[in-house]
Structures are given as structure tokens and as C-alpha cells.
Structure 1
């Protein structure tokens, strides 16, 4: 740009090869620079003819603009302060054409470079914004578990990326008969923001746009929905436009393919606008709506696929969670089943253990009852005799008859008592009293001679009752042992007496060991409670000891030992039985592995024991002794870091000598 005076000069003619010369008036200079075609480099040849009447320069450099000063020296210095780097060169008011041509070309190159830098900066900001959006999308795709929120987020994001006025999502589902259908699931429309969403399904068929994309798995890019190729297999349904007054123009319909290349949905974008905030009306649709370009297609196609993968992963995740819950329930049932199986194997032994004290307690109770009854009869006879002859004779006869009724129940005195009752019926009252006194004296003397004094009988009865208490205490001990073994009221992680739990477990197993001729011994040296799952730890010890008894021949021994070794509580179970072969030692903790005959073992005991020890953050190892038998060593921490969780590095160990 230059003054009209310069444009008509000979120097201007020599400079025309450098570019177009455009003369402007001084007060039009700023507007001309600001309104030139975007991105076009501009050089202002500033001479005295472009100065306003007051000597000012009506110019504010915009975009890629460079200034060449053709003003006197003092004015040029002022320009330097005002325009800074925009001032490209300072020449004399009448420079030679060659020098001016070089200056113009240099200024144009600088302006073009500035324009390139501005374009690159704008592109950088655009890409940075897209990267931020993509990062947000990636986070949402990997963390969002709610399908509806995820689908709405993806639809909004796709519309933001492509400046789409509207969009919708279809999800592939199966009806009751197993036929695939497309469910219209999500819809957004800037022009109709309050439009109520009505969900419906359509067949997966090539006759519709969404159905065609679902069947073929290929995207469809439509510049104008009302100008489809007559040969196309699909058609556009204008019912929505007719019902709402909306005008559909450009469309981009995309398949949502997961990692298995299956189409699980269809993303539909409608009316790409010149900007995201542009308002769409039927009158200016030609000026506002653009076709979707390849960049929009590529970006949204990738977004649709990532969404499909995320939805599939969410479905797999939910299925995995359900499977995990079922697995834990099954696992708990297996643990409980194994415990019940172990208790079932011990039922006969426990019944035998209870039956012995129950039998003699029951017999002694009957004996004590019989003796107390006899003492009561003797006391009644003694009180009648001590009453003497005083009082009403009829009342004394009646009291005597009542005592005779009780003596009838006595095995030894019953027949005599019945005879006396018969004789009393034919006697007068005085004779009845004499007969009663004679018979009761006989009873008192004969009982004392045979049974001893009443005090002696009571003393023997007390001893019998004490023996009953011993039997009852033994039964209580057995029941307590069963309760402590199961510890149904102590299923949580807590401080417990591990040695006491082992004692009760050995008590439960004692009859089984005795029947098989195996000696059970123990050396329990723990001095305080330790954190554990008491019931579960008891089950581990029961499994190991029970297996050891089964593997030990008659006359053998099973020994249980506890101690504290550094930061670990150690429980060892040693037997001198048949041992474990090389082929089996590495498989003993595998679920359902057993060497017992069919019906004799579930193969879950050691597997469950291993898992329980892992819950205690411990280890379980098995070693073979040099002579015969094996030793199982359980180690659990004395101070667990996180009760009930598995510690890194905790693992089973199976070693050979």
C-alpha cells in the first residue's frame, strides 16, 4: 500500500514486479490494512503523503504487516518507537528503485513468515485443544461405567468435534425371539433443545440409513439427505422434519465397531455448521450448513469405535463382577462344604466321646434319684415314729396310711406294705396304731442295717452326683471344643488363643486317631493371643492333622508343634506315615487333587487350607522327612500389616530333601 503520489511515480513502476501496488488516502490507511484479504502479506510504503493533516499516521499494524519508511530521519525515529519490529526498513524520501525493490521483497518475506507463524500458532492451539478433548474422552471411556452417561457424553463430544447441530445414537439389541433390532437410545438437537426423547426400535435392515450402516459396517457421508442417489439401497425418512419443522441437510452415519469387529451401535450426526455456536434456521441453511469432510469422518469414526470398545469392555466388566461374586459365593460354599465334610467324618468319633460320659451320668442320675427317694421314705417313717402316741389317733392312722402308700412303690418293702394295708382294714384304731408302729420300726431298723444311716446314704448319693457332674463337664468340654472349632461367632479377624483352638481340634480328632491306632501328641508353646481368623485357622489344622492320621499306619504318631520364630507364628504338623511321592508333591495344593479312594476325600482340604493361609498373609510349605512321613509348616505374621489380605510374595512351597 502506498500514497497516490508514490503510485504515479517512476519508482513505483520499477517496484511493480514485487507485488500489487494499492494507493490509499491517509485516513483510509488503517481501514485498508485491517480489511485486506486474510492471510495476505502487506507492506506499507509510508511517505509524507500518507501522513494526516496533523502529521499522525492513521495505522495500526494487523496480521502479517511490514512498514517501509520513506520519511525524513527525525520522523523515522518516531516510527521506530511506535511500530517496533513492524518497521522493516528506513529509506530516504527518494530511494533508488533497486534499493526500494530489495526492501519491499525483504518486507514481504518477513510478513509472509509472520503469517506462517500465526497460522502455525493457530494450528498448534487447535491441536492442543483437540488433544485435551481426546484426553478427556479417553479418561471417560476408561472410567465411566454408566452406559447412559457414557453415550450422552460421546454424542456431545462428537457433535462438538464436527460442529453438528444434532445427533442420535442407536444401540443393537435382541428381542425375545433373538432377532437383532436397533433401539433409538439417545438424541440431541441444538435447534430443538426441549424435544422429548421417544425411544423406539427398528429392524436391522439396509432399507434405513442406520440399518444399512449396522448391516454393512461401513460409514455413510451424505451432503444432502433429500438428494440421495436413486440407486442407493437405503432411504431417508423425512417424518421427523415434517413433524417438527426441522430441516435435515448433511448427515454422517457411523458404525460403532468393537474389538471383535462387531457393530454394537450406530452414531448419527446431522447438519455440520460453520461453527459450533452458529444458529440454524430453515431460511439460512444454505449459508450455515456444510458437508462433512474427510477429517470429520476419520475422527468420529475412530471415536465411535472407541466407544463401542468401551461399551463392550463395560459389559465384560459387569459380567466379570457377577462371575466374581458367584465365584466367591461358590468358594464360600466349598469352604463350608469342606468343613461340614470334615465334621461329618468326625461325627461318629464325637458321638462316641459324648456317649461314654452321657451313659454313666445317666446311670448315676437314676441311682441318685432312687437313693433320694428311699431316703425320703425313711425320713417319713422316722418322723411318724418320733411323733409318739400323742395326738388324734385317727389323724395318726391316716398319716401312717399315706406313708404305706409310698412304701408300696419300694421294690423290697412293697409286698409287706400291701399286706399291712390289708390288715388295717379289719382293726379298730388302737390296734391299727400298734400295727403301724411295729411295721415302721421294722422298716427303720432293716433299712439302717442294710443301707446304713441316712447321713451315710446321703454321702454316697453326693458322690454319685459328683460323678455325674464330671460326666456333664466332659460333655460340655466336647461341645465347647466343637463350638471353638467352628467358631461361628468368631468369623472376623481378631486376636485369639491359637494354642487353645489347636487343643480343641486335637480333642475332636482324638477318637478318630485312637480308632486307627495313631498317637496324637502336641507341643504348644505360644504365650499370648495372635491376630487370625480363628475358625479358619482351626479348619487348616484339622485338615492337616486329619490327613496325617489317614496317612499314618497303626502304631504311628502325629505331632503338632507351635512356636514364635522372629516375626512369624509357626504351626507344624508332622507324621511318620507313607509320605508323598515326587509326582504328587507339586500338586497337593491343587483344587480337587486327592490320592484317597473315591468317596474318601473331596480334594479340597489342602487347596482351601492354602487359600486360608494366604488370607492370613502367610505361607504353607511341605517337606518330606528323611525316613518316612512329611511335615507341613504354616507361618503367619505376628503383626499383620493389613488383616485379611494377601501379602506380596506369599506363596506355597513344596520342597524335597
Structure 2
């Protein structure tokens, strides 16, 4: 509240005699107005000072809270303003930094030269530029800093200096290095998981091959043992012939050793052995064509042959009691990897058997169809199982998702199959069939 003017209580002096009272009152009134105005101006000035102090405190709190380092320099590069982050980084106080040339904080001459170049560039845009430098921290270590440099202007729009705002990149680079190491470890783990799944597919394939090879190899072994016995009997008879024994003794020996029966049986033995060996060679050749799950060679692949081989190996290996309804369809050739496509089909057939086996009292069954429409090969596989739960339809191809008991599945088979089909430019869908059971649809572009 303004204080009363002390002039109002001053009586007129003798020198003021002759001035009437009204004039004197006017003078006092004017002096009161001037004094009131002075008091009002003083109040406004105090308010302005308080606002200025609040603004300074606000700016100081902003500079203190900044995690990025800041240096406001004049045209010569001398620091006029800084913040706590820069003081903490370089291990110097605000008073020590003020007046210091910013380039003195750099770790090498090249960083200092880059800062001087920015300061000496007169045509720098308002948006500024960036410069990478290395500063020396409080421990004398080199710290990479990415500075954003913008011109500082006065009231007339003239450049009076530069503002450098930078972020120390050491922590970011360390975090990036750790992220890259984690990514490499994740890729290695993914490769190991993929390899495990491929080995599981190859294991099913080998199980089928073992059953398939059993018959021709057993046949060949039986014939070889018979040929060994025949060889010994022929050796005895030829020894008697070369010894020029009497004809009667040779005839008796010939009858005893059943040489005539042996000679008559030799052609069929040789034919059977050759047939078994050829059958074994065919199986091995088929294994070479279709079991190379790691090979990336692309070529023409007959989908009918892939389906037939997948059904054959699964039935021979792990699903002998599997009623598969399949007839080769029209010529359906695609461009891709025979081994990878066989892995997909074997996985789908095996999953169909596992699902259909859940129904007690019924023979597991699978219906396979293959058709060619509008430049695509569409293969459908419908099993006689309980189908897929509605909540699982959206997750069926997710990695590690499986409805099988622990130890029975990795949850990677369908995920890997989905990826292989995508790499071949195709599509793989899962749904429930109207007649019951799950149906998987594989679509691949024709070659």
C-alpha cells in the first residue's frame, strides 16, 4: 500500500507568503500524484524483477535437467553459457568453462578443426548442421559427441554466435554393441532351432528309409548267402574234375552236390540279387533327391512326386497304420527346392497322422488333393482328427506354439514350413473342414 506523501504535512514557509492557499494546494496535489506514480512504478519494477528471477530460475532448471550437453559460444568460439551435463562430462565447473574456447575441450586436432569450420561458416542455415567430434571426459577418455549446431541471433537478426547441443554417443554405442551381440546370439539360436527341426524331419525320413531298405537288403543278403554255399559246392566239384577222377566218381559227386539244381538256380539268384541291388540304388537316389533339407538349389519340382514320397516316408517311418487317400493329379511342376518342399509335405502329413491318432477306435485317415488352377498348384490335406480350436487358428503358425504334449513337438514345424512356402512365393492356410478334422491348403505358383 503506498505510503502518504510527507509533503502534504509541510506548512508553507515564510518565503511562500503572498501565494494563495489554492495555489499551494495545487502544488501539493501535483506532488502527491508524482509520488503515487513513483510508488506504482516501484511496484511494477519489483513485479518485473520477480518475473525475471522466475524466468532465470526456469531457464536454469531446464539447463540443469538437460541430459544433452550444451555450449552457447560467441563468434570466436568462446563459451558464454553451458549446462550441468557438459560440466559433468568434462569435469570442469561452469566458471571454468565460461570464456574457454570450445575447441579446447576436444580430444584431437581433427575434432577441433571441425568445430572451427562450423564457426567460420557464415551462410549456416537456421536449421543448423551436425558435426561429430570427440571430447575428453573427466577421466581423460575420448567420448564421441554428436553436436547439433545452430546459429544464435540478436534482436536485429544478426548472428552473434553458435549454440552447440550434443549427445554423448558412448552409451549409445555400447548399447548398440550389446544389441548387436544379442541379435547375433538370437540368430545363432534360431539357426540351431531350425537345424534341430530339420534333423527331426531328417530323422523321420531316415526311419522310413530304414524300413524301405530292409526288404531289398534282406533279399540280397539271402541270395548272397545261397551263392556262397553254391560257390563252395562248385569249388569241390571243379577240384574233382581237375583231378581227373573217374567218371563214375564225378557223377556221384555231381549228384551229391546237386550241381544240376545249382546251375538251374543260379540265373534266378543273380536276377533277384540284381533286382534287390537296383531297388536299393533307387531308394538311395530318391533319398539324395529329396532329403537334402539344407540345400538351396532351385529347380523344377514335380509336386505329385513330392506328395507321394512324403506319404511313403511317413508311413514307412512312424505311421504304418495310416489310411491315406491319395491319387496323383495333373502335371504340377513348381520352381523350388525339392528337399525343402518335401520337408513341408512330410511335416503336414506327420501332423495329420498325429491329429487323427487322437481319436480312439478309428483308423487315422488323410485325404490329399492336388489341382492346378489359374497358374497355381493347390494341395489340400484333410485329416480325420478333432480339428483345430478356434482360439488356436490365429496362432497355429507362430514359432514354438504347439498343442502336442511336452516332449512330442517343438512348435517349430509349421512355423518353418510357413517360412519355406513364403520363400517359394506361395501360401499356407489352416482351417477346419465342414465334414470334421483340420484342413491345410498349400498353394504354390506353377513353374
TM range (shorter): 0.5 to 0.7
Alignment correspondent of 1:342: 201
- Give the match for residue 316 of structure 2: 511
Displacement after TM superposition at 1:319 (Å): 8.4
The question of whether the paired residues in 2 share the 8 Å contact of 1:560 and 1:571 is answered with: yes
Determine if the alignment matches structure 1 residue 527 to structure 2 residue 407: no
The Cα shift of 1:610 comes to: 1.1
Equivalence for 1:265: 145
Q: 1:471 aligns with which of 256, 276, 282?
A: 276
Report what 2:255 is aligned to: 448
TM-superposed deviation, 1:322: 7.8
Higher Cα radius of gyration: 1
Kept in 2, the 8 Å contact 1:570–1:636? The answer is yes
- The one of 367, 372, 375 aligned to 2:226: 367
Once the two structures are superposed, what CA deviation does each residue of 1:582-614 show, in whole Å capped at 9, x if it has no partner?
222222111111111111100011111111111
The equivalent residue for 1:610 is 418
Is 1:548 aligned to residue 352 of structure 2? Answer: yes
Equivalent residue number for residue 20 of structure 1 = none
- Partners of 1:457 and 1:488 in 2: how far apart? 47
Aligned to 1:232: 95
**2: CA distance, partners of 1:228 / 1:298:** 11
The one-character-per-residue Cα deviations of 1:384-428 (angstroms, maximum 9, x if unpaired) are 33xxxxxxxxxxxxxxxxxxxxxxxxxxxxxxxxxxxxxxxxxxx
Separation in 1, partners of 2:302, 2:168 = 53
When the two structures are superposed, what TM-score results if normalisation uses the length of structure 2?
0.62
Once residues 446 and 311 of structure 1 are traced to their aligned partners in structure 2, the CA distance between those partners, rounded to angstroms, is 98
TM-score normalised according to structure 1 size: 0.44
CA distance, structure 2, for counterparts of residue 591 and residue 583 of structure 1: 16
Equivalent positions of 1:590-609 (< 5 A) are: 590-609=398-417
Contact 2:290 2:339 in 1 (8 A): yes
Which residue of 72, 81, 84 corresponds with 1:220? 72
* Counterpart mapping for 1:154-553 below 5 A: 217-222=69-74, 232-234=95-97, 236=100, 265=145, 267=147, 293-294=153-154, 301=163, 330-385=189-244, 437=245, 441-448=248-255, 451-453=258-260, 456-487=261-292, 491-512=296-317, 514-515=319-320, 517-527=321-331, 529-553=333-357
User: 1:593/1:450 Cα in 2 relative to 1: closer, same or farther (>3 Å)?
Assistant: same
CA apart distance, 1:217: 2.1
Structure 2: runs of 5 or more not aligned:
1-63, 82-92, 121-127, 133-142
Unaligned runs of 5+ in 1: 1-211, 273-291, 386-436, 640-657
Q: Alpha-carbon deviation of 1:446? A: 3.7
Stretch moving more, 598-607 or 628-637: 628-637
Secondary structure of 1:359's counterpart equals: helix
Distance change in 2, residues 1:301/1:540 (3 Å) = farther
Quick one: structure 1 residues 325 and 375, their matched pair in 2 at CA, closer, same or farther if it must change by over 3 Å?
same
Map Cα deviations across residues 509-568 of structure 1 (whole Å, 9 max, x no partner).
1223554x2123422224253212322211110110011111223523223322211221
Matched, 1:561 2:369: yes
For residues 326 and 571 of structure 1, do their structure 2 counterparts lie closer, same or farther at Cα, with a shift above 3 Å needed?
A: farther
Provide the C-alpha distance between the structure 2 equivalents of 1:611 and 1:561, rounded to a whole number of angstroms.
Answer: 22
CA deviations 1:156-178 (Å, max 9, x no partner) are xxxxxxxxxxxxxxxxxxxxxxx
User: For residues 502 and 487 of structure 1, do their structure 2 counterparts lie closer, same or farther at Cα, with a shift above 3 Å needed?
Assistant: farther
Contact 1:225 1:251 in 2 (8 A): no
Identify if the C-alpha distance between structure 1 residues 460 and 514 changes in structure 2 by more than 3 Å, giving closer, same or farther. Answer: farther
Assess if the C-alpha contact under 8 Å between 2:73 and 2:161 holds in 1. no
1:15-34 to structure 2, matched below 5 A, reads: none
C-alpha change, 1:297 and 1:513, in structure 2 (3 Å) is farther
| RMSD (CA atoms) | 4.7
C-alpha deviation, 1:353, in angstroms: 2.8
SS in 1 for 2:402: coil
Deviation per residue, 1:370-391 (Å, 9 max, x gap): 2123223313322433xxxxxx
3-state SS of paired residue (2:308): helix
Do 1:346 and 1:508's aligned partners in 2 also have CA atoms closer than 8 Å?
yes
Q: Deviations over 1:115-154 (max 9, x none)?
A: xxxxxxxxxxxxxxxxxxxxxxxxxxxxxxxxxxxxxxxx
Q: 1:223 Cα deviation (Å)?
A: 5.8
